[in-house]
Structures are given as C-alpha cells and as structure tokens.
Amino acid sequence: MNGTDLPLLRTTVPGPASRAWVDRLARTECPAITARRARRAAALGLSDDDPIVWAQAVGANVQDVDGNIFVDLTAGFGVAAAGHRDPGVVAALHAQAEALLHAMGDAFPDPRRIELMERLCAMTGMDRVILGSSGSDAVEAALKTARVATGRDGVLAFDRGYHGLSYGALAVGDYKAADFRAPFAGQLGPHLRVAAFGGPLPPADWLRSQEIGAVLVEPIQGRGGIRVPPHGWLSALRATCDQVGAALIFDEIYTGFGRTGAPFAFQGEGVRPDLLCVGKGLGGGFPISACLGTAAVMDAWGASKGEALHTQTFLGNPLGCAMALAALDRLEALAPAVGPLGEGLATALRARGLGVRGRGLLLGVTLPTGPDALALSRALLHRGYLALPAGEVRAGDDPRQAVVLALTPPLCITQAQLDGFLGALDQART
Ligand SMILES: Cc1ncc(COP(=O)(O)O)c(C=O)c1O
C-alpha cells in the first residue's frame, strides 16, 4: 500500500478481525461514542454493519485490521489533508522526538512553537496566535477574545453551524442532524442568537440590543451539509460587524489550508476577519489548533501578569508544532492541484444527474431522492471507499434521511482513485 492504491478487499467488510476488535471496544468505551452499527443498525431496521477498525494509513489509503485496503474520501474528518502519514510530517515527528516531546505551555516556550506562530501569521495576515489542541479549543479562544475585546456577551451564529462539542463551542452551535445541545441545554448559557446561513442579516439595531460582541461563521459550512453562502455575504457580514462593533470570527477549521482550492475560503471575498480558527489538517495528524487574531482584538487581553488568563497544559506541544510546520509545507505544495481535481470531480458527479455543492475538495453530493447518504456510505464501504454523510437530513433527525454525502479526501488523492470512486458510486446507486 503506497497511498495511491485502488481498493483491495480480502475479506467481507467488516472482516472478522474488525468485528472482534469492535466487540472488545464495546466492553470499555462509553456507548455514546463509536456507532457500533450491529446494534444501531438493528435498532433502525438496517443490515448489520459494524465499523472497520483501522490498522494503518498512508496517502489516501487506509488499511484495516483484516488487511483490506480502502480509499479514504473523508481524510479522517479532514485531518489527513496533507495525506495520511505524509513522509515529511513523519520525519519532522521523528526529529522532534529526538529533542523535546513536551515544553511548558505558557511558562517555557520552545523554538518550534514560535516558528509555527510566525508561519501562521505570515500565511493568514493575522498578527497574534493562541494555540490549542482541538478545533473546539480554537473556537473557545476566539469567543473569549471577542468577549475581552468588546465587553459583550452575545454571540450571533448561523443555522446548522458546527463549531465543536466542548461546552463553550457547543453553546454556539446549531447543528441540526443530531441534537447535541438538548441534554445539556441547562448548562449552555443564554448568549446565542441564530440567523439564517447565507440569508438576510439581522438589523444593526437589533444586534446592538442583543449585546452581540461576536459573529461566528464557517465561510463554507462543513458538517452542516457543505453549504456555500452567496458571493458577497461574508463582506456584508464584515460590514455589519463594523457597524455594531462586533468581532467577526471565521471558523476555517474544516475549510482552511487549501481544502477549497484557496489557502483559506474567506480569501476570495476580500474580507479580513478579526479572528480566525484553524485546526484539523494543521497538525498533519497531531491534535493541534490555533485561534489567530488581529493585534486590535488580541491585545485587548493585556500582558500576562504571571498567571496566564488563558492556557492549557499541552499548549503548543513541540511534536505538534514540528509536525504542523511540515504539514504546512506539504499542503502548500498540494494546493495548486486541489481546484482542478475538485472541479473535475464535481463535473463528473453533475453529469450523473447528482447535485453538488462546495468548492475544491470540500464537496457535498446532494441526494434528494433514492438511497440516503448513510445507506450510500455503507454501500461504498463495501466497495472499498470511505465517505460519510454530512449533517443535512430530509426530515427530523433520523440518520436514514441524510441527504448529503460529504467528499473531503486527502488533497493528495489521485485522479485514478477519484475515477474508481465514481465507478463505485455508480454501482452503489443501482
Ligand atoms: C467547522 C468546524 N469547527 C469546529 C470543529 C470542532 O473541531 P474539534 O472536533 O477538533 O473540536 C469542527 C469539527 O468537525 C468543524 O468542522
């Protein structure tokens, strides 16, 4: 397996080794975490379908514990944007492992952390950085910064937005396909207002009356169903924020680092946010994220008085920073191919009568009729292709009603692998 392989299935999917591992998983993991499909499928009246258990991955290939080789059109939730186990990222990991595994968060920095922050600022036009470990961390750092800079509690976000599931991030999400909020509603705070994504913006007077200090948006919605707002909508949002003195936060955790064909999805609009959240592909597989901001908002924090007002134990982990620096090299090299690959894929999907939305290699195939996206993702798995539904559903929150199949492959996926996927899709839909 070299990363550019087509699928090779040696057993039924999932095979016996995957099933045995999933049985063990079910004995220890909280049942709410991994969809153990044998049970969930039974509850939904679907065919038995446990997940496969991943053993290794490289480039756009994943191999399971039964030795089956798959082509990954998820990039592991967008993380393997530079490819799974990219050689440059692995070399950086090894080199860093020989020097320093852990520095001391806010107390003692190390050179890789400083280099990474410099690089991120140069790439984005932002001035300051708060590093984190997950996308949710970056979103929460941005919300806190907006609160510190504006003194206002209110947050305006958009329908079907997804910003993570830790409490601060969950409190500003409006994901519809699963009600992540309901069990925790009493602990989420009253500060969220929701407007239509891509729709008319609330009047400035109303935003002032609601004490809105932060406007949080994904320039293209990812989990919410790969939704692209109309051109000019992000600039209108910028103008509204300027009018009411709110900080504009772009959540580019999914869309950043070339996935849409541009370094960042917001860049085609000539808009500059006050705060920018990145994560997923940044670490090349290491859990690291960043909240970037202009000096105007970030410097509102003031200087540390000895106890950092915002930090965490693993802030700027040296392994993560070294891997991120290498991942950024690879992502920059892959970027020119993303637009053409994505356009070719979208054209081929449309030629099949399918609806397509998104940009670059962040595409959503819409399925208003016929098999739903969950059923299609299972049929594709049985043909050696990994793809998952994105949030939008036809009715209620029944996953059998998912209407969008998300395609977010590693940016190094080959044309032959995409052609193979199209063939598998044709078979899966008949
Ligand atoms: C746009 C967006 N923001 C935030 C997050 C949360 O990231 P994490 O799961 O790393 O906390 C995600 C995760 O899918 C995302 O897509």
237 C-alpha vs ligand 1 centroid, how far in Å?
A: 21
Q: What order of strands is seen across the sheet that includes strand 402-407?
A: 355-359, 362-366, 402-407, 388-393
Q: Which of 77, 79, 143, 162 gets mutated to test ligand 1 (max ligand atoms within 8 A of its CB)?
A: 162
Structural tokens at position 426 = 């044709």
> CB of 252 closer than 6 A to ligand 1?
no
Residue 46: pLDDT band by 50, 70, 90 thresholds?
Answer: very low
CA-closest candidate to residue 138, choices 277, 283, 315: 277
Distance 396 CA to ligand 1 centre (A): 23
Instruction: Tell me, in angstroms, the distance from the centre of ligand 1 to residue 64's CA.
Output: 25
| Per-residue pLDDT at 269 | 84
Indicate the top mutation candidate among 163, 289, 291 to test ligand 1's pocket, ranked by most ligand atoms within 8 A of CB.
163
Average pLDDT over residues 294-313: 94
Across 334-362, average pLDDT: 96
Could you tell me whether strands 289-293 and 355-359 are parallel, antiparallel, or unpaired per DSSP bridges?
unpaired
Q: Is the CB of 408 under 6 A from ligand 1?
A: no
Q: Is 15 in the pocket of ligand 1 (CB under 6 A)?
A: no
- The DSSP symbol for 353 reads T
Whole-angstrom Cα distance, residue 293 to residue 178? 31
Where does 87-329 sit in CATH, by number? 3.40.640.10
399 lines ligand 1 (CB under 6 A): no
Pick the closest to residue 40 from 429, 403, 405, 398 (CA basis).
398
101 Cα: distance to centroid of ligand 1 (angstroms): 25
Answer whether residue 416 shows pLDDT above 60: yes
- C-alpha distances in Å from residue 169, one per residue of 16, 28, 195, 227, 390: 38, 27, 17, 20, 19
CB atoms within 10 A of CB 420: 18
Instruction: Report the alpha-carbon distance of residue 280 to residue 216 in Å, rounded.
Output: 18
Atom of ligand 1 nearest to the CA of 255: 1
Residue with CA nearest ligand 1 atom 8: 135
Closest ligand 1 atom, residue 164 Cα: 6
- For 69-112, write each residue's pLDDT tens digit: 999 999 999 999 999 999 999 999 999 999 999 998 889 999 99
The mean pLDDT value for 211-217 works out to 98
pLDDT band at 400 (very low <50, low <70, confident <90, very high): low
Residue 44 pLDDT greater than 90, yes or no: no
CA of 325 to the centre of ligand 1 (A): 21
Q: How far apart are CA 334 and CA 160, in angstroms?
A: 30
Q: How confident is the model at residue 234 (pLDDT cuts 50, 70, 90)?
A: very high
Distance in Å, CA 352 to ligand 1 centroid: 31
Q: Please provide the DSSP assignment of 374-387 as one string.
A: HHHHHHHHTTTEE-
Q: What is the mean pLDDT of residues 198-217?
A: 98
Q: Say yes or no to pLDDT of 58 above 80.
A: yes
Atom number, ligand 1, closest to the C-alpha of residue 223 = 16
Closest by CA to 4, choosing from 58, 65, 54, 56, is 58
Nearest CA to ligand 1 atom 7: 135
Domain segments of the chain: what residues? Answer: 16-85+335-429, 87-329
- Polymer length in residues for the chain: 430
16-85+335-429: which CATH number, 3.30.9.10, 3.30.590.10, 3.40.720.10, 3.90.1150.10? 3.90.1150.10
Per-residue pLDDT, 75 = 98
In sequence order, what are the residues at sequence separation of 6 or more whose Cβ sits closer than 8 angstroms to the Cβ of residue 224? 159, 160, 161, 162, 175, 176, 197, 218, 390, 391, 392
- Mean pLDDT value of segment 400-409: 86
Alpha helices in 125-178 (DSSP H): 135-150, 167-170
pLDDT-based confidence at residue 246 (cuts at 50, 70, 90): very high
Question: Does 283 contact ligand 1 (Cβ within 6 A)?
Answer: no
pLDDT band at 40 (very low <50, low <70, confident <90, very high): low
Q: What percent of the chain has pLDDT over 70?
A: 94
Q: Is the pLDDT assigned to residue 39 strictly greater than 60? A: no
Reported as a pLDDT band with limits 50, 70 and 90, residue 398 is low
Average pLDDT of the chain to the nearest whole number: 93
Q: Is 259 in the pocket of ligand 1 (CB under 6 A)?
A: no
222 lines ligand 1 (CB under 6 A): yes
Q: Is 45 left (phi over 0), alpha (psi -120 to 50) or beta?
A: left
For atom 13 of ligand 1, the residue with the nearest CA is 164
Q: Is 212 in the pocket of ligand 1 (CB under 6 A)?
A: no
- Confirm or reject: Cβ of 253 under 6 Å from ligand 1: yes
